[in-house]
Amino acid sequence: MTNLRDVIEFAHSLWPLSGAESWDAPGLVSGSLDAPINRILFAVDAVAETVQQAVEVEADLLITHHPLLMRGVTSVNEELYKGNLIAQLIRGNVALLAAHTNADVVENGVSDVIAQSLGLLNTAPIQPGVVAGTGIGRVGQLPQATTLGALARELADLLPNTAGGVKVSGDFNASVSRVALCGGAGDSLLATDFVRTADVYITSDLRHHPAQEAREQALVSGGPALIDVSHWASEWLWLDVAAEQIQKQFPEIDVEVSDLRTDPWDFLVVQ
């Protein structure tokens, strides 16, 4: 019988905890290492819907990208949503494991999967990690040059649907071939050389000031167009790859990916 200890040991060989950012809190959030594991559910977020789904499908383990408990928590009072979710998980016999920045940096990690989906060639991390070939974000070459508009369309088709869609800053017809990208919130990489020398930078959660400053600087000294996609959608692509890796190692376990949309936005009013 495969237990949680076996799954975690393998998970942490795929996504070593040493690769995580210092502010992050990946790893086991709740659960017993001796618990038998027959079914695993993957999701980007541990939220009411996905926790409920994990309990309903009788998953023994929920693996999420975002850690439910990342910053200091002083109570698991069930009137507070985190306490409520932890209680539901424990009562439902569902362990919770988070694979966050440690799953961002690796080969077949969150950004690497987006790069692969776009067919990027000669990819390298935007910010290299300690282990060769790992690091935050990816930069690479499209197999053939396209336009900014066509690339945005391709992303819209590739990613699961969200209310926010795909937002672009730049000329629709501009030619693009060198692409930098970072799954999740990547505005901290805007000033890096790899991003500044790319034709386009794809990431999520770009706020007014960082986006505007990057575009204004591009007018003076060159710089990338920007494509802003849903944070959830950009990370969701990775779940299938991660689930496949776990499934291959543990063929006896039933591994599923939640298709519930946990992007926080529900609708958009276009002006």
Minimum CB distance to Zn ion, residue 207 (Å): 15
Residue nearest to Zn ion (CB): 184
CB of 259 to Zn ion, least distance (A): 18
Residues 34-53 interacting with Zn ion (rule: CB under 5 A): none
Q: Which of 221, 224, 199 is nearest to 211 (CA)?
A: 224
What radius of gyration, in Å, describes the C-alpha atoms of the chain? 19
Size of the site for Zn ion (CB under 5 A): 1
CB nearer to Zn ion: pick between 192 and 262: 262
The number of CA neighbours under 13 Å toward the Cβ of 80 is: 10
Query: Which lies closer to Zn ion via its Cβ, residue 145 or residue 163?
Result: 163
Neighbours of 79 (CB within 10 A): 7
Residue 84, phi-psi category: left (phi > 0), alpha (psi -120 to 50), beta (remainder) = alpha
- Judge whether 65 and 235 are in contact, CB under 8 Å: yes
**Closer CB to Zn ion, residue 4 or residue 85?**
85
Nearer residue to Zn ion within complex by CB, 148 or 237 = 237
Which among 110, 75, 71, 98 is positioned nearest to 240, based on CA atoms? 110
How far apart (Å, rounded) are the C-alpha atoms in residues 18 and 199? 32
Q: Does 165 bind Zn ion (CB under 5 A)?
A: no
Q: Which is nearer to Zn ion, 53 or 204 (CB)?
A: 204
**Rounded to whole angstroms, how far apart are CA atoms 27 and 69?**
10
How many residues are there in the chain? 271
Give me the least distance between CB of 219 and Zn ion, in Å please: 30
Least Å distance between CB 46 and Zn ion?
Answer: 12
Binders of Zn ion among residues 171 to 230 (CB under 5 A) are 184
Enumerate residues 74-103 that contact Zn ion by CB under 5 A.
none
Q: How far is the CB of 121 from Zn ion (least distance, A)?
A: 26
Q: Between 117 and 147, whose beta carbon lies closer to Zn ion?
A: 117
The residue written with tokens 């689930």 in the block is 243
CB of 102 to Zn ion, least distance (A): 13
Q: How far is the CB of 91 from Zn ion (least distance, A)?
A: 27
Which residue in 17, 185, 190 sits closest to 105, CA to CA?
17
Residue environment code for 55-72, b if the CB has 16+ CB neighbours within 10 A, otherwise e: beeebbbbbbbbbbbeee
What's phi and psi for 88, nearest 5 deg? -60, -40
CB closer to Zn ion, 135 vs 184: 184
Binding residues for Zn ion (CB under 5 A): 184
